[in-house]
Every structure is written in structure tokens, then in C-alpha cells.
Chains A and B, each alone.
Chain A
């Protein structure tokens, strides 16, 4: 069974379009994340949700909007796509991020977004 899954795996679209990436985890974790990885492999956190509530919202354009319908899902909607949005987007989850205990993050396989 896949622990953290993302769809689609590849997404090619035109500038100005709106698109969504879906993420689901079946680990029963409380916290989910979205990361952006650029072409140089640099990994930057975008959002973090704990029990469906937004906890971290790094400096990300407001064209990016996460939505968590339940604890197992965290989707990423992107409006008015730009060339610079091309990257690999990773979803991750962890057991409990805010009790001060260390915990492992489990990553999805990534979604490669290409904006033309």
C-alpha cells in the first residue's frame, strides 16, 4: 500500500491556467506538508497543515492555495500559472508535528509541473 500518494505524477500546462495537485496519506498522520523542489534540487516548504488547520504558510504567492478536506488529504490549487512555477511538488506527512517530539516525514513521489 502506498503511504503518501500524489496525483498527477506529471502535469504540463499553459501559462495562465489553473491546476490542482492532490495528495492523500493512509498513515493516520496528523500533519501534512507541501514542498517545492526547484531544478537545482533545493527543497522549500510551502505549507503545513495539522488536523486540517493551516499552521505554516511560508512566503508563497497567494496564487497557491492549499485545501484540506480531511486529515488524510491536502490538495494544492494553483491559479494563473507562471513559468517560474515549473518545479517538482512534494507532499509529505508526519505523525504529530507540534508536540515537540521529533518525527519522521514521509514523502510522496512528487508531481512534476511544467508550465509552457
Chain B
């Protein structure tokens, strides 16, 4: 089956710092890749996605590129805000999704 490995958190940054959350996956074929975000007390929301190799997903200043050769989908943002504090989940799949364990991001003013 598929699997996803995310860097462990929490990741603690100051406002306006650069963010990278690493995600690597194992899967057969060419699955779609997703980043979901969970704000405190809420359910998961789709942040961005990519459906084929070299695609770049982007939303709200976040970006991630589907790298088939390194089986990675790292999440980046150039300048984080306090409001970005949340748990971020990487996921892989065609239909049923396999989620990583989540990475908590804490941004301080």
C-alpha cells in the first residue's frame, strides 16, 4: 500500500520566516498528492494538490511541486504569518488517501 512520511514537528518559526515541511511518499504508479491543513478545533481543509509529475500546486502563498524522481512533495511558503499556525498533512492516493502523521507549525509574532 501507499505510505507517507512527514517531518516531525512542531516546527516553530517567527513571523515572516521561510517555511519548508518535508513530505516523501511511496506508491505505485502516478498517484495524486495533496496538502491538507487543520486549524485548531476544526476539520481538515485542502490547501493544495498536484496530479502529475512536475505539477506545482499553490494556494495562499503555499507551494509544493510533485517530484516523481525523489518521490517528494515538500510544502513551502516564503513568509509565514501567525495565522498559518496549524497542523499540516501530506496525503497521497488515487481515490482513498493515505495521510502522513501531520506536522504542527507554530508561528510567533
Residues of A near B43 (CB, < 8 A) are: 4, 90, 92, 107-110
A43 to chain B, nearest CB (A): 5
Residues of B near A1 (CB, < 8 A) are: none
The verdict on A102 contacting B49 (CB below 8 Å), with A97-B95, A107-B43 known, is yes
**Are A90 and B95 closer than 8 Å at their CB atoms?**
no
CA distance A33 to B99 in the complex (A): 14
From residue 4 to 57 of chain A, which have CB atoms closer than 8 A to chain B?
Answer: 4, 31, 33, 40-43, 45, 48, 56
Residues of A near B42 (CB, < 8 A) are: 109-110
Cross-chain contact of B102 among A33, A41, A48, A105 (Cβ < 8 A): A41
B31 to chain A, nearest CB (A): 8
Q: Which residue of B lies closest to A55 (CB)?
A: B96
Interface centre among B38, B87, B89, B95 (most CB of A within 10 A): B95
B78 to chain A, nearest CB (A): 25
CA distance A59 to B56 in the complex (A): 35
The verdict on A98 contacting B44 (CB below 8 Å), with A40-B101, A43-B89 known, is no
B97 at the interface (CB under 8 A from A): yes
**Are A105 and B97 closer than 8 Å at their CB atoms?**
yes
CB<8 Å pairs between A and B, sample of 28:
A4-B43, A31-B95, A33-B96, A41-B87, A41-B102, A41-B104, A42-B101, A43-B44, A43-B99, A45-B96, A45-B97, A48-B96, A56-B96, A92-B44, A94-B95, A98-B95, A100-B94, A101-B95, A102-B49, A102-B93, A103-B95, A104-B46, A107-B43, A107-B44, A108-B43, A109-B43, A110-B42, A110-B43
